[in-house]
């Protein structure tokens, strides 16, 4: 996925520059840059930009929106890693933000990145019609709020140590991971002027990709090489969290991942030739080792 690498490099160059250009006190800006650095895949900006690209818009004008998605995703990681939440020491191959800057500062880094993300998404102010911009922002906000990502994290914490069934597990991941992945696709489609039917395909694709992503995450937590994944490893078992391999065995989880990959490819096909990149992405996620 060389296109993914290109977008990744751009984000890793520009997002810190934006933060440095602002009047942020003390080491807070530095801590925000730290949280954003490390080995992120930058999947959400990629999904947004690749969707938008289908509709031949002035792509470079929409780039701050893509950065905003990554800032919001990173905020959620920083808060989730805090000791009062999942208590993680490593993320993206480095010490987590609170391990370097302290818990109070990490909380503020998360709050700051969320605000910055909203600011960036709200700053796309020419070349696109305002109505579409407002709608695209609304879709992302709904996805990351208490009905989406925040609600998913709530359910995830609540479910620790409990015997969850498959449908409860899927609800957690649909909200916690799937919602923002889907919103990254939908906001690109909305900004580009996709038809309702196309938005339906993007939503279906995002839901399948989101679960595929989570299942492979669970498998990597069990079988992955921490030097490659950049995470602590075996965290799910330590926290007593329900996982796909835990519910259906490693082979069952692998089969489920293949099903989700096929579902994603099927949804992407309805987008026509321009949806090819999404078919490739699903296969890439299925076989990822980091």
Which one among 111, 223, 225, 258 touches its own copies, defined by CB under 8 A? 111
Residues 139-198 that bind its own copies (CB under 8 A): 141-142, 144-147, 150-151, 153-155, 157-158, 175
Give the CA-trace dihedral at 177, 180, 75, 37, to 10 degrees: 90
What six digits make up the tokens of 192?
Answer: 């580009």
Residues 62-91 that bind its own copies (CB under 8 A): 79, 82, 84-85
Least separation in angstroms between CB 150 and its own copies: 5
- What distance in Å separates the CA atoms of residue 20 and residue 281, rounded to the nearest whole number? 32
Give the number of residues written for the chain.
290
Q: How many residues interact with its own copies (rule CB under 8 A)?
A: 49
What six digits make up the tokens of 3?
Answer: 């296109």
Least separation in angstroms between CB 214 and its own copies: 17
Nearer to its own copies, 22 or 276 (CB): 22
What six digits make up the tokens of 242?
Answer: 């329900």
| CB-neighbour burial class of residue 187 (10 A; exposed 0-12, middle 13-18, buried 19+) | buried
- The residue written with tokens 């818009």 in the block is 57
Least separation in angstroms between CB 278 and its own copies: 27
Q: What is the CA radius of gyration of the chain?
A: 18
* Residues of the shown chain interacting with its own copies in the complex, contacts defined by CB under 8 A: 19, 22-26, 28-29, 32, 79, 82, 84-85, 103-105, 107-108, 110-112, 114-116, 118-119, 122-123, 125, 130-131, 133-134, 137-138, 141-142, 144-147, 150-151, 153-155, 157-158, 175
């Amino acid at each position: 996925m060389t296109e993914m690498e290109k977008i990744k490099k751009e984000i890793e160059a520009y997002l810190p520059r934006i933060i440095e250009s602002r009047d942020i006190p003390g080491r807070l800006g530095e801590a925000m840059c730290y949280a954003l650095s490390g080995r992120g895949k930058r999947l959400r900006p990629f999904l947004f930009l690749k969707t938008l690209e289908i509709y031949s818009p002035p792509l470079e004008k929409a780039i701050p929106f893509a950065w905003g998605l990554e800032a919001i995703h990173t905020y959620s990681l920083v808060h989730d890693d805090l000791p009062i939440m999942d208590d993680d020491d490593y993320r993206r191959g480095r010490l987590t933000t609170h391990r370097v800057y302290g818990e109070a500062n990490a909380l503020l880094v998360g709050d700051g990145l969320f605000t910055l993300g909203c600011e960036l998404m709200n700053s796309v102010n020419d070349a696109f019609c305002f109505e579409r911009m407002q709608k695209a922002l609304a879709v992302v906000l709904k996805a990351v709020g208490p009905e989406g990502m925040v609600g998913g994290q709530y359910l995830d914490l609540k479910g620790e140590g409990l015997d969850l069934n498959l449908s409860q597990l899927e609800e957690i991941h649909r909200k916690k991971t799937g919602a923002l992945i889907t919103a990254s696709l939908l906001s690109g489609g909305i900004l580009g002027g996709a038809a309702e039917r196309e938005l339906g395909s993007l939503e279906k694709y995002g839901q399948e990709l989101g679960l595929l992503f989570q299942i492979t995450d669970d498998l990597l937590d069990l079988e992955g090489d921490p030097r490659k994944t950049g995470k602590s490893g075996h965290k799910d078992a330590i926290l007593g969290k329900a996982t796909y391999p835990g519910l259906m065995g490693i082979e069952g989880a692998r089969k489920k991942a293949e099903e989700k990959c096929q579902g994603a490819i099927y949804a992407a096909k309805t987008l026509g030739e321009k949806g090819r990149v999404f078919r490739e992405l699903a296969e890439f996620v299925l076989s990822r080792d980091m």
